[in-house]
Structure 1
Amino acid sequence: MGTEEMSKPWKMVLFCSLTIVTTANIVCMNLSRTVQPGTDKSSLYYSSTSVFCAELTKIALSTSLLMFELRSFSRLKDVLRNEILMQWRETIKLSVPAIVYVIQNNLSFFALGNLDPATYQVTYQLKLLTTALVMRVLLGKILSNKQWGALFVLLIGVCLVEVEKIVPVASDVSAHAHATGLKAQRGEDRESSRALESANASFAIISGIMATIGMTFCSAFAGVYFEKMVRSQPNKNRSNGLSELSLLWIKNIQLYIFSCVSALGACWLNDGANIAQNGFFHGYNTLTVVVVLIGSAGGTATALMLKYLDNIYKNFASSMSLVLASICSFLLTGQLYGPKFFLGSFLVCFSLFIYQSASTTAAAKSRTTSDQAQISPKGSTSLPIYTPNNITKA
């Protein structure tokens, strides 16, 4: 089934599926990282190990789906050997997103160390715009003014939702930092201390914002690069009799191989000592396994989304999942939200409506233009155009 062959209802099913899976992932992950009464944080599983397990599970799932497409274990072995080992240059290309994600994770640690959660989350939502910019550069996708407007509305809506969720926590953190700063200033020259503190805080904020903006470009580039890879159809692969879905699962396996390597490195760097002392699966329970399985399903849904839709729709699905996850949090924990959340939720939904209507209009115009180009009247551009150089005298 080609990219252009997927019908609109199936695209809607795909969009809703990714939204639901992402929502379930957010809710289950939050529940799994909640400290139960009578325990402390040391009883929780290490998040780096769950990421590694999710990447391994994605490889297993993609391999199973490839096996389903090929319907032969011997052919599966031949295809994997040929596409991954023999064509190692194609495999190496999929290391680029994995490397970029490693850079993004390091920038994330730096940004979180210099910004309060609210500023970090709001700034990171600029990825909604940087994704469109990177798609213009790498894929040549041009958005209409109406589509750009929809993305700006989406940005405002997501920021309102995030601020509503994080502001109370950020206020507590700021109050704690302020109180700590006052204690540190006792017995010192307050004026010079305040000036130095202000300069250091300004530098930290600027560097944190720059790191977060760098994250948005890393996220956009990695996503759009992978979209370009899964949409490419080399002729040599077509001659092997592989379907488009088979090629997609192969690209997934190639990507997740490098993701596993980077995730394993994160385990060693972030939790190496704890893993050596308590074991790799410390703190695992049924909910942790569910988080891993949902994460692997989300990877598969994302690949299909990039194949048959694009990164912008993936961002819309992620934004919708933030709203749905907040609603689920209210139902499960009773957490209340203010007017900013409801306004932001409305803007997120409204932006999707605007973007989809603009996309439908653009697609209709494109089809009309194509039809007019194919059906041209007599004496029109269907006749050859002669220049003085090719006119022969009678």
Structure 2
Amino acid sequence: MSTKSNKRLKFGLLLILVLQTTGCVLLLRYSRHRTKDSSKNYLVSTTVVSSEIIKVLTSLIVLLAQTGSLMSCMRLLYKEMILNRQESLKSAVPALSYTVQNNLLFVALSHLDSVTYQVTYQLKILVTAIFSVLMLNKRLSLLQWVSLIMLMAGVVAIQLHDPSAQTKSSERQNDLIGLICVLISCFLSGFTGVYFEKILKKGDQSLWIRNFQLSFISSIIALINALVQDHSTISSLGFFHGYDYLTWTVISIHAFGGFIVAFVMKYADNILKGFATSISIVISTLISFYLLDDFTPQPYFIYGAPMVLAAVILYGYK
């Protein structure tokens, strides 16, 4: 591939990742707050199930295209899912983790504005780095450790509230719920990403087989969670209660987000991903402040946000 073509590819990937990240967060936030009647909202638990099923179908279509026939695809799945069930069970750990994480993502964006969520969620870089050192024996450069310290300082600054600001107790409580959900998501994201990377590198199964295993097990876990958590609502109002075109758009964008990131990491690098995240946060800030009117920056946010953005970019350099 020529240098010019390579630059075009990277620019295209950057644009797609920025649109996916920004669109997913803003649309999810809007979809949860477009009506004051919470009883009309879709169930978070069922959207996670729907997202995982889309991943299963996508992985199945790709595997079908790779094998060339339905019978060949079924034989491959039988071999990898049944005969090689020990490897399949390894995907149960990230499957459970991703299911919990996806539920927390929806809950967090029901309580936090999109900008605070996105910036705080960058704490997952620190968690991922720590698990990479512990589980993959990865060595980090001094510059990367400095960026992680900057990341921590920036996230702490973002969460500090102006003492003189008047905040309702219910809003504070909601902020606390959102923050707890984000922190748990960061921990799960870091652990799951490193664990999944480890089993991918040590095993001989293809990425799409692993994706199918992961999404298939996740869909079962998510379905059980939905039936236990929202059994009465699903029984009375239906599984797809509150769904409309916007709900399906959010689900689809969220489902394909993982595939897009994998594609970016294959043909680009961490630096590009860091820039995409930074650009996405800037765009989300502008849209949230000027269009959605759901974000008013606190004084500490002005200091914390640039630190987080700089840390994300700095971490990509070796």
TM-score when scaled to structure 1?
0.63
Match of 1:219 in 2: 189
Q: 1:13 to 1:155 in 2, by over 3 A?
A: farther
Q: 1:276 to 1:64 in 2, by over 3 A?
A: same
In structure 2, C-alpha distance between the alignment counterparts of 1:323 and 1:167, rounded to whole Å? 26
Please list every run of 5 or more consecutive structure 2 residues that lacks an aligned counterpart in the other structure. Answer: 1-5
In structure 1, C-alpha distance between the alignment counterparts of 2:164 and 2:208, rounded to whole Å? 43
1:136 aligns with one of 120, 133, 140: 133
Is structure 2 residue 302 aligned with structure 1 residue 355? no
Number of aligned positions between the proteins: 303
Alpha carbons 1:158, 1:319 under 8 Å: kept: no
Alpha carbons 1:11, 1:309 under 8 Å: kept: yes
Q: 1:12 to 1:90 in 2, by over 3 A?
A: farther
2:63 aligns with one of 54, 63, 66: 66
What are the within-5 Å matches in structure 2 for residues 47-58 of structure 1? 47-58=44-55
1:12-35 Cα deviation digits (max 9, x unpaired): 754553343122111111111124
**Identity in percent:** 34
Q: Measure how far apart 1:268 and its partner are.
A: 1.6
**What is the Cα-based RMSD across aligned positions, in Å?**
4.1
1:181-217 Cα deviation digits (max 9, x unpaired): xxxxxxxxxxxxxxxxxxxxxxxx9xxx999876644
Alpha carbons 1:156, 1:347 under 8 Å: kept: yes
Match of 2:3 in 1: none
Q: Measure how far apart 1:81 and its partner are.
A: 2.0
Q: 1:124 to 1:346 in 2, by over 3 A?
A: closer
Please list every run of 5 or more consecutive structure 1 residues that lacks an aligned counterpart in the other structure. Answer: 1-6, 178-204, 238-246, 360-394
1:62-98 Cα deviation digits (max 9, x unpaired): 2222333334333322222222222111111100112
Q: Measure how far apart 1:163 and its partner are.
A: 5.7
Q: Measure how far apart 1:276 and its partner are.
A: 0.5
Q: Measure how far apart 1:350 and its partner are.
A: 2.3
Match of 1:22 in 2: 21
In structure 1, C-alpha distance between the alignment counterparts of 2:234 and 2:166, rounded to whole Å? 31
1:72-129 Cα deviation digits (max 9, x unpaired): 33332222222222211111110011233466689x69xx9xxx979x9798764332
Match of 2:221 in 1: 262
In structure 2, C-alpha distance between the alignment counterparts of 1:268 and 1:334, rounded to whole Å? 35
SS, match of residue 45 in structure 1? coil
Match of 2:79 in 1: 82
Q: Measure how far apart 1:227 and its partner are.
A: 1.8
Match of 2:260 in 1: 301
Match of 1:383 in 2: none
TM-score when scaled to structure 2?
0.76
Match of 1:251 in 2: 210
Match of 1:387 in 2: none
In structure 1, C-alpha distance between the alignment counterparts of 2:166 and 2:190, rounded to whole Å? 27
1:154 aligns with one of 151, 155, 177: 151
Q: 1:216 to 1:349 in 2, by over 3 A?
A: closer
Match of 1:326 in 2: 285
Match of 1:94 in 2: 91
Alpha carbons 2:150, 2:308 under 8 Å: kept: yes
SS, match of residue 33 in structure 1? helix
In structure 1, C-alpha distance between the alignment counterparts of 2:122 and 2:283, rounded to whole Å? 17
Is structure 2 residue 5 aligned with structure 1 residue 45? no
2:33 partner letter: T
Q: Measure how far apart 1:329 and its partner are.
A: 2.1
Q: Whose Rg is larger?
A: 1
Alpha carbons 1:131, 1:311 under 8 Å: kept: no
